[in-house]
Amino acid sequence: DGGITQSPKYLFRKEGQNVTLSCEQNLNHDAMYWYRQDPGQGLRLIYYSQIVNDFQKGDIAEGYSVSREKKESFPLTVTSAQKNPTAFYLCASSFEVDRGFQPQHFGDGTRLSIL
């Protein structure tokens, strides 16, 4: 079945440590996204990528970095500069806008906590 796979499901970070969250999709989608969700809140966009080797900052990119070396993969690194990283991280993908208003499809998330 096609879908979006996020790993790990739970992740713990020590102070001063960088951690990388994985996101892989086999839907042949062009665009990929990272969101952050805090308890009782909606989603906030961190980064997005429309094509390979290109990505753009979202609303809350500070303290995060991404890469898009393959169409299927869009890993997110939470750096030590992100002072409040505890949250639920969601990856999504979609066809590009020129294919019409196709919806985004989401993975099941990674829950990051600070030790």
Partner 1 sequence: DAKTTQPTSMDCAEGRAANLPCNHSTISGNEYVYWYRQIHSQGPQYIIHGLKNNETNEMASLIITEDRKSSTLILPHATLRDTAVYYCIVRGYNFNKFYFGSGTKLNVKP
Site of interaction with partner 1 (CB under 8 A): 4, 6, 31, 33, 35, 40-43, 45, 48, 56, 58, 88, 90, 92, 94, 96-97, 101, 103-109, 111
Closer CB to partner 1, residue 16 or residue 42?
A: 42
Secondary structure percentages of the chain, helix, strand, coil, to 5: 5, 45, 50
**CB of residue 78 to partner 1, shortest distance in Å:** 18
Closer CB to partner 1, residue 69 or residue 96?
A: 96
Closest by CA to 3, choosing from 35, 22, 29, is: 29
Contact 82, 61 (CB under 8 A): no
Closer CB to partner 1, residue 50 or residue 77?
A: 50
